[in-house]
Amino acid sequence: MAKKVLIGAVSGILLVAAVIGVVGGVMRSQKASSGSGDGGSQLSSSAKYVSTFCQPTQYRDTCERTLSKVSNTTSPNEVIQIAINATKDAIRARFDIPDKILKDIPSLAPNLPQRNLSMLQDALTDCKQLLEDTIDFLDATYALSDNVEDLVLRSNDVVTWMTSMNLQVSSCLDGIEHPAVHQAMIKELGNSTELRSNALSMVAQASKVLQALGIQLNTGADSRRRLLAHEEAVYERDSEGYPTWFTTADRKLLGQEIVTPNVVVAKDGSGTFKTINDALNAMPATYPGRYIIYVKAGIYDEKVLIDKKKTNLFMYGDGSKKTIVTGNANYIAGVKTDQTASFAVQAPGFICKNMGFRNTAGPEGHQAVAFRINADLAVLVRCRFDGYQDTLYVQSGRHFFRNCVVSGTIDFIFGGGATVLQNCLIIVRRPMDNQFSAVTAAAGDLPDENSAIVIHNSRILPDKRLFPDRFTLKTYLGRPWKAYAKTVVMETLIGDLIQPDGWKAWDGEPDHCNTAYYAEFQNRGPGADTRFRVRWPAFRVINRQEAQQFTVSNLLYTPGADWIALSGAPQIKGFRRA
């Protein structure tokens, strides 16, 4: 039987739409009669659709103008598709903006030092690619919009894609530090910003909107059975319960046995390749199954990028202290933060075990990323991430880190991904004498984004060099990088290094303390006392019911196959304590 691929990418993002979730289904709605109805009544009905769909958006006037193309329709599909297409058209129309601004740099930013000029040019070049990447996420959402029932059933997938779409543009703007150029880019993006926000809100709130319109969806038992039937069709099982497309190596992968890799990387020449990049460059454009790269023990001083076409890759080493990818690119040396990563992943479906990733720039280098992930459905087990400022960049997508070690100082777990770190050891290192440390710095530009950093059943402790000075060199659980940042620490051991107030405001952005979401749930240890925590509107001590939304089974949910279980990673789907 032909193998079926776990991550089947249409554009590297349509992977989930193509394989893991629901395809097909029937929406049952109260449709207008197709007979000789009253034209005025139809127009009124269309206006009601537009008004109701625009209700949850931040920019209602823009939304209503966008949907003015809706004529005599009671099809929610058409409404959503118009919003998505309008967003795509607006972004496509701006593909050339980075090139235009590049030409205007002499007038916008005259007399820049070469370092700053190079960083600005790199940022604008990145913007062009990031804007183009947003179309992939919009296409993935559009692929489900033919059936609104599917859109609702797959809401976590769709909202994740739309969140990633928005975060690509946000990353573009983050990279442009020169004030005049930054403002020029914002101005040129124009109403595309409002369209992105509105499209996200419409798909995120689709279920509530449809209820308000009186549309009945089949999302109950019948629909779940259809979902299960689809999953079984895609994941046909053998007598042992494995998907039939699993190879023998895949089955061993789910256990603890040694698997047979496609290629071996070894610095000493005993493998297929001497560098990880050579192995990636030789990877076939298409591969029917999971491609496996084994990286033997050694320190690999190379800058690795797994591009978005290299989906469904499994990479493993001999241990997080034996197989190490390292680099020292850093902001002070003139490298943009995202480009400082020693190892970066942009392909969905990435699995990694038993490897270490370092950035050795030190605290003097300021932003210096060891590992960056800008992709969906990533699982990392028994890996280690060592750096100082900005060690682990969870840029966008859903990620699960299990039994990992992360070390750093300032904002060393940061980004806009929906990320759970479970059973991990989080080590705060000694910063420079004039610095503080913050474990997290979550992003989140819009309230409807599927974006959160969750630390679950882990330990937060100082390293040996920080220990004597852990009370004078202040450490916080995190600070809100963006307005709608979300961070949750739950069922975790918190050492006494954490300041009693727990959280720190982002410099120059006091309003984030009102709009962000910061929560703690049933933590333990000397640093877990919440009596003296900050009194922000953004902070709360939550109960079990509220914490439930940040468990693996909810935050990282995708209907159909359990993508974390299929990776072989152990997981706590709910809470550690019943």
* 411 is an active site residue: yes
Question: Nearest Cα to 341, choosing from 355, 353, 349, 331?
Answer: 331
Asked if residue 355 lies in contact with residue 325, where contact means CB atoms within 8 angstroms, the answer is yes
φ/ψ of 135, rounded to 5, equals: -65, -35
Strand, coil or helix: 309:
coil
Other Cβ atoms closer than 10 A to 542: 17
Q: Is the torsion defined by CA of 73, 139, 487, 389 positive or negative? A: negative
Q: Tokens 């990392």, residue?
A: 380
φ/ψ of 71, rounded to 5, equals: -135, 125
Bridge partners (DSSP) listed for residue 428 = 408, 462
Residue 483 to residue 505: CA distance in whole angstroms: 11
Strand, coil or helix: 243:
strand
Asked if residue 382 lies in contact with residue 357, where contact means CB atoms within 8 angstroms, the answer is no
Please report, as a single letter, which amino acid is at residue 298: G
Q: Which is catalytic among the residues 411, 433, 469, 496?
A: 411
Residue 350 to residue 280: CA distance in whole angstroms: 13
Residue 200 to residue 184: CA distance in whole angstroms: 24
Question: Nearest Cα to 381, choosing from 575, 574, 570, 573?
Answer: 570
Residue 256 to residue 258: CA distance in whole angstroms: 7
Residue 242 to residue 252: CA distance in whole angstroms: 11
Question: Nearest Cα to 347, choosing from 133, 498, 99?
Answer: 133
Helix (H) or strand (E) holding 26: none
Residue 271 to residue 290: CA distance in whole angstroms: 20
Beta strands (DSSP E) in 250-404 are 263-265, 291-295, 298-301, 304-306, 313-316, 323-327, 343-345, 351-353, 356-359, 371-374, 378-381, 384-386, 392-396, 398-402
Residue 291 to residue 305: CA distance in whole angstroms: 16
From first CA to last CA, the distance across the chain in angstroms is: 42
Residue 416 to residue 174: CA distance in whole angstroms: 12
Distances (CA, A) of 156 to 163, 203, 240, 492, 557: 10, 10, 30, 26, 7
Residue 410 to residue 435: CA distance in whole angstroms: 8
Collect all residues with Cβ–Cβ distance below 8 Å to 280 and sequence separation of at least 6: 293, 304, 306, 310
Distances (CA, A) of 162 to 13, 141, 198: 11, 8, 11
Catalytic center residues: 411
